[in-house]
A and B are shown apart, each in its own frame.
Chain A
Amino acid sequence: MSADVIIRAEGLGKKYTIGHATDRERYVALRDVLARGARDAWRKTVDMARGRPIVAGDTVEEFWALKDVSFEVKRGEVLGIIGRNGAGKSTLLKILSRITEPSEGRVTIHGRVASLLEVGTGFHSELTGRENIYLNGAILGMRRAEVRRKFDEIVAFSEVEKFLDTPVKHYSSGMYVRLAFSVAAHLEPEILIVDEVLAVGDARFQMKCLGKLSEVVGGGRTVLFVSHNIAAVERLAFRSILLQNGQVIANGPAASTVSTYLRTFKDLPAGWINVETTPRKYLGTRQAVITHIFLDHGQSLISRDHPIIFTLRSKIIDPINVMRVSFTIFALDGTPVGSGFSNEMDVSHHHGAIGHRVTISAPGLAPGRYYFGIAIGRGDHTSGHVDYDVVFDCLPFEVAPPLTKDGVLSFWSHAWGPVLFTNVVLTADSKNVGADAA
């Protein structure tokens, strides 16, 4: 109960309601159809009368995005929040920013909060850079006088002086992001809440943003931030909390929380995994759902030249013509490494369960640990795509470092990134040597 606690969260919980389609019996009798329709209509009417949202699907399930979360933040402290996709980080920030209301528990905040959950919220493409600075400033809670006072500073930081009176729809994405971040960087609240905004812009601008954030931190302001960038968390945060499945599982110095976080990846199960009832972070159309997934090698180390093969079983719920599997591979710290789309297969004669095997023949991954996000759907990045169902944070695996000639494990630095380029060829070039060759 010390006086300098600026944020106190006690037993916070946030509940969402999601709908599921249960196994649909074939509509053989009109009576069944009518009965089901009437039941649905009755439920929806009751929901509406009680002021609850109408949820699609036959059965309704409650899903706790956050459960019993308690922590304190002291004035001037920098708190990092880490956790895997769907762990509840964004939900927590949304509650603290007053965007959504907790379902239980309570938060006490002593001071003015500004939250930055997205860069460039409310930017309008038809308006000029100058107009958008005022608009975005107001949205982030700055007074017009405050924006006017900092205007030159914001413009200088963004490096878009020349295009200030051009509608932002003509900006390159880099310019757009720089301008948006610059406005946000000049916020001066007592408490700043930031969600994953360091992942914007080119590397040079990212460094500049990190510098600015360190400056904010140095200025004695209280900062809460979510990042997948483990290095940034370790560098900026004094303390961090680790969320898993909506609960705080570690709360302490940043370095120790980060190592706990990295260890949680080992706990992912191997073998056939039933994912049918796993809560989905993104709901697809659910015309088909993934029920089981299986990584052929289990969790065992995969040699770098070996193809990665996984198998999945799905259940077709509504008639669909085609199905493809797409996937994203994530590095252990949550950075996406790359994605792929399979060819589409004709499934128009199937209903019920169906199995597929996916082979990634030359992944080219550097030694290290990774995990998958897997989706079934149709279409790809060239044709536009629709996902029937998406499963995140599954099938962890490790790419083994190759053995050296002496039979010891070789070294791979994380600073070199997750891709190992092979067939790198060195040839002699006598034409461009210049005068020295003579």
Chain B
Amino acid sequence: MTDDTTPGHGHVLILEPGRADRHYWRDLWAYRELFAILAWRDVAVRYKQTVIGVAWAVIRPSLTMVIFTVVFGRLAKLPSEGGAPYPVMVFAGMLPWFLFSTILSEASGSLVGNANLVGKVYFPRLIIPASSAAVALVDFAINFAILLSLMVWYGYWPSWRIALLPAFVVLSMLASLGPAFLITALNVKYRDFRYIIPFIVQFGLYVSPVGFSSEIVSEHWRFFYSLNPMVGVIDGFRWCILGGDSSIYLPDFLLSLGVVAAFLWLGVTYFRRTERSFADLI
């Protein structure tokens, strides 16, 4: 039988083992409303359930900022970047870092948390971790507001480069989604992967230049340091937000970009390869 014999209905679907779905990206686009509504659900539920929800989003970064400023700025007397006050520099680095860590932790449990959906309805599964990442954007907006008030408090004025910030927000989302997709998919098969997340988040906070400027890393280590994709992202954020002579090393930044792209490719590929069996495993 050929598709031509079907009267008037162009939509033909063939289900076969191992058949890579050719219409995957088209399907993903067709399900954009589901993506939007799931993201809206996650945000609505989060801020409906807890009064503390908003307060928590303010307290956590503020306290971290204070601690980093005291430990790295006052005790270790590390230099700030571009003449910015130390707290502002720390906060500018924390913005992408918290975006990264929230996306990672929200996404990794999202499929298991939505097991009832996965077992009962078809849709491209990529929607679930992606929509849970939307919650992180709301937290990001709150953090950004804190940063703005911090800058007003210090009377610190950003340069024109802050106009490029949206591009770096997108970059940090991409940097987060790659590992997030990978760990989400692995977590369905091997539930122990959820124990890795707190470790990555805690460890990464100190390995990435959040509490200090990446400028203090010595020249011949910088190459290896930039293999951490968050290094490029955080540098980019500081470059946008902190004016003056805050600088960005282009080769290292490109290297970070490459790592981000590699992780994204790996995450999406692995996710797509395993997603057909999610319903059987979950």
Q: Which A residues form the contact surface with B (CB < 8 A)?
A: 1, 3-5, 8, 16, 48, 51, 53-54, 94-113, 115, 117-118, 121-122, 124, 126-127, 131, 134-135, 138-141, 143-144, 190
When the two chains form their complex, are residues B122 and A102 in contact, meaning their CB atoms are under 8 A apart? no
Q: Using an 8 Å CB-CB cutoff, how does the interface string of B161-197 with A read, 1 for contact, 0 for none? A: 0000000000000000000000000000110000000
Q: Which residue, of B19, B34, B276, has the highest number of chain A Cβ atoms within 10 A? A: B34
Please give, as numbers and ranges, the residues of chain B lying within 8 Å of A5 by CB-CB distance: 1
In Å, the complex CA distance between A239 and B122 comes to 26
For residue B78, give the distance in angstroms from its CB to the closest CB of chain A.
Answer: 41
Can you sample 19 A-B contacts with CB below 8 Å? A3-B5, A94-B279, A96-B15, A99-B118, A99-B120, A101-B19, A103-B17, A110-B13, A113-B13, A117-B120, A122-B117, A126-B48, A126-B49, A127-B45, A131-B41, A138-B34, A139-B121, A141-B121, A143-B33
In Å, the complex CA distance between A381 and B53 comes to 37
In Å, the complex CA distance between A134 and B210 comes to 41
Please give, as numbers and ranges, the residues of chain B lying within 8 Å of A99 by CB-CB distance: 118-122, 279
Please give, as numbers and ranges, the residues of chain B lying within 8 Å of A111 by CB-CB distance: 9, 11
- A100-B277, A126-B49 given as contacts; is B116 within 8 A of A121 (CB)? yes
B window 247-282: CB within 8 A of A: 273-274, 276-277, 279-281
Give the total of B residues in contact with A, Cβ under 8 Å.
42
Question: Which residue from B16, B38, B190 sits with its C-beta under 8 Å from A102?
Answer: B16
For residue A221, give the distance in angstroms from its CB to the closest CB of chain B.
Answer: 13
In Å, the complex CA distance between A397 and B142 comes to 66
Q: Which chain A residue shows the least CB distance to B118?
A: A99
Question: Which residue from A8, A106, A112, A122 sits with its C-beta under 8 Å from B116?
Answer: A122
In Å, the complex CA distance between A140 and B7 comes to 26
Q: Which residue, of B37, B117, B189, has the highest number of chain A Cβ atoms within 10 A? A: B37
Please give, as numbers and ranges, the residues of chain B lying within 8 Å of A103 by CB-CB distance: 17
B55 close to chain A: CB less than 8 A: no
When the two chains form their complex, are residues A109 and B45 in contact, meaning their CB atoms are under 8 A apart? no
Q: Which chain B residue shows the least CB distance to A10?
A: B16
In Å, the complex CA distance between A117 and B190 comes to 26
Please give, as numbers and ranges, the residues of chain B lying within 8 Å of A48 by CB-CB distance: 190
B6 close to chain A: CB less than 8 A: yes
When the two chains form their complex, are residues A101 and B33 in contact, meaning their CB atoms are under 8 A apart? no
Question: Which residue from A109, A115, A144 sits with its C-beta under 8 Å from B33?
Answer: A144
Please give, as numbers and ranges, the residues of chain B lying within 8 Å of A97 by CB-CB distance: 121-122
For residue A176, give the distance in angstroms from its CB to the closest CB of chain B.
Answer: 14
When the two chains form their complex, are residues A109 and B12 in contact, meaning their CB atoms are under 8 A apart? yes
Q: Using an 8 Å CB-CB cutoff, how does the interface string of B114-130 with A read, 1 for contact, 0 for none? A: 10111111110000000
When the two chains form their complex, are residues A118 and B120 in contact, meaning their CB atoms are under 8 A apart? yes
When the two chains form their complex, are residues A126 and B45 in contact, meaning their CB atoms are under 8 A apart? yes
When the two chains form their complex, are residues B15 and A112 in contact, meaning their CB atoms are under 8 A apart? no
For residue B206, give the distance in angstroms from its CB to the closest CB of chain A.
Answer: 29
B window 34-68: CB within 8 A of A: 34, 37-38, 41, 44-45, 48-49
In Å, the complex CA distance between A144 and B122 comes to 18
Q: Which chain A residue shows the least CB distance to B119?
A: A99
When the two chains form their complex, are residues B116 and A108 in contact, meaning their CB atoms are under 8 A apart? no
Please give, as numbers and ranges, the residues of chain A lying within 8 Å of B11 by CB-CB distance: 110-112
B75 close to chain A: CB less than 8 A: no
In Å, the complex CA distance between A97 and B13 comes to 11
